[in-house]
Amino acid sequence: MRSQEIKNALKKLGKLQLRPHQVDPIQNILNGHSTMCIFPTAAGKSLIYQVPTLVMNQLAVIITPLISLQQDQIQQLTQYNLVAGRITEFYSAVPQSAGFLFATPELLQQQHCIDFLTKVSNRLGFFVVDECHLIIEWGNTFRKAYKQLDVISKFNKPILALTASVTSTQAQKIIKELNLGAPQIYFTSFNRPNIHYSFHFTDNKFAILKNVISSFLASSPDNDSILIYAPTRSETDAIQSSLCSIQDIHSYHAGLSPEQREQTLQSWIQNTVKLIVCTTAFSLGIDKPSVGLVVHFGIPKSSEQFYQESGRGGRNQKQCYSIVLSSTDDVKFQLSNITKLAENGPKESFYYLLKIAYFNKCRRQLLMDYFNSGKITQKSDICCDYCDNQKQNNTFINKIFGWKSTSETEQDSISNQLTYFSTKRPSLSELCGGYNDKFPISNEQQQIDQFNVLSDIIVDHFSGTMEQEILLIDILKLKNYLLKKSPTIEKRNKITEKLIQLIMKNKQFNINQLMREALKLSM
């Protein structure tokens, strides 16, 4: 390992040392190999390409989705007196030292850009595809150039693909699209322990949003910044109008002029504006450490989007809140969009986000499960609204929404699962994972979960034989009936277990028979 050269590079970048997870991918690039890094937000992905560029004293071409993102990164590099700029700035004067050349995917489809790269190929060290998850998120829709990035593989240079949020299946799709062959893939935990996650469903989003913002401002000793994501431009403008009396707020979306967007971006980076309402593209990869609250005004379109945008907060490692305020109409809006897509990936990702939102389980663990990031063995006090309710944690969110009793939580779980089933029928194995045939009970919450599994089994076995909406209503009736007739968890579990046994023995049972059996068992 070129230890001294790496130390010199870090000094130029104003850094003292690498973090452990950064060492191997940097070495892999220096050894001339293509590399993929799947690191969470705030894990220092930029250093993975900055250090090798300086050590190699060559040019790195960094492909990013937005000019605003390029400007942010260029500004950070030039403050250290390093050569950095958009690739078009160097057509007439090729840097003779290490240089960071930024381009959008569309620019790489232009012949004059390819001609320039061909001319300087002996100075090229490697290519970087930042936010590479956009290849599969945007490449099939409004950014077709993302599907043509394999053009860079023709230069026979290493390619570094960086992202914060892809599953292993998605990673393989990206590798294929970029023609990377068999790159070394580096993972680290997706867990952001300083971010608190919460979901709240309401038809009065504007009033609650004002309450959330006011409460956060009153409880934030460091006067942290706030980022609000809205799904449409019109909602962005409506939120700005709604909140302008509370705090100076700027909006950011494609309907504004380039000058307006640039002014807002600079005000945000320089911390003269601390409250931004924006559409998805804003803040993509922009490193602002002091964001203490991220609000989604409407449920995001995917699990990846939720994770990415939540991760724009808490980059200073201080406590941060990620709150989703959503309504049934928001869910229908996203469903109407994804059902038009040919691929199943976006659909499954959104369905899983519904599971995170609706199920009566730890949000953080469900999110980690989606990315196959393992079990959280030691949770911090800052976790999610579900865990707050279990521990009666005192946060500014609880002051707004309050705590719920065990019975209220259980009733919510039934209602939420009903909503989930009405949008997507999960498989039995998906929902009952972790339970064996005897349904072992270790704590109260697991007992509640066991009771809720009944509806999942009924759905799995009977949805092919009757109308789903009628079935779901019947399931809700059955479960509510059991709640009323069997007030103790232990008795409900006995009934549930016997009903499951009946279902397994005779799959011809219909819902009315089950209701009659439940009545007998509850007496």
Element (H, E) at 473: helix 468-485
Lookup: tokens for 240: 């700005």
Task: Strand 291-297: give its sheet, edge to edge.
Answer: 195-201, 320-326, 291-297, 225-229, 275-278, 250-252
Q: How far apart are CA 431 and CA 428, in angstroms?
A: 5
Kind and range of the H or E run holding 275: strand 275-278
Q: Within its chain, how far is the Cα of 114 from the centroid?
A: 34
Q: What is the pLDDT of residue 434?
A: 33
Contact 294, 354 (CB under 8 A): no
Give which of 171, 180, 118 is closest to 149, Cα–Cα. Answer: 180
Per-residue model confidence (pLDDT) at position 374: 78
Each of the 523 residues of the chain gets a pLDDT tens digit; together they read 588 999 999 999 999 899 999 999 999 999 999 999 999 887 889 999 999 999 999 999 999 988 777 888 898 899 999 999 999 888 888 888 889 999 999 999 999 999 999 999 999 999 999 999 999 888 877 788 899 999 999 999 999 999 988 888 899 999 999 999 999 999 888 899 999 999 988 888 999 999 999 999 988 867 789 999 998 889 999 999 999 988 889 998 878 888 888 888 888 888 898 999 998 867 565 668 899 999 999 999 999 999 989 999 998 889 999 999 998 788 878 877 876 765 666 778 888 888 888 777 889 999 998 888 778 877 677 899 888 887 777 777 777 776 554 444 444 554 555 455 445 444 433 433 333 333 333 444 444 444 444 444 444 444 444 344 344 444 445 555 555 555 565 665 566 556 555 555 555 555 556 556 655 655 5
Q: What is the pLDDT of residue 61?
A: 97
The Cα–Cα gap between 243 and 250 comes to 10
Residue 408 tokens read as 């209220």
CA distances from 162 to 159, 165, 260 (A): 10, 9, 29
Q: Mapping DSSP to helix (H, G, I), strand (E, B) and coil, where does residue 384 land?
A: strand
What is the residue-wise DSSP string for 201-218?
E-S-HHHHHHHHHHHHHH
CB-based burial, 206-226: b 16+ in 10 Å, e otherwise: bebbeebbebbbeebeeebbb
- The CB density around residue 147, as the number of other CB atoms within 10 Å, is 14
CATH code of 3-187, in short, is 3.40.50.300
Give the position of tokens 């005192």. Answer: 394
Kindly list the domain boundaries of the chain, sorted by start residue. 3-187, 195-401, 406-522
Whole-model pTM: value is 0.72
pLDDT at residue 363 in the model:
92
Rounded distance, CA 6 to CA 356, Å? 41
Q: What's residue 269's pLDDT?
A: 82
DSSP 8-state assignment for residue 86: E
Task: Decide: 66 and 281 in contact? Cβ < 8 Å.
Answer: yes
Amino acid code (one letter) for 372: N
Cβ atoms of residues 285 and 64 within 8 Å: yes
Q: Do domains 3-187 and 195-401 have the same CATH topology?
A: yes
Helix (H, G, I), strand (E, B) or coil at 306: helix
- 195-401: which CATH architecture? 3-Layer(aba) Sandwich (3.40)
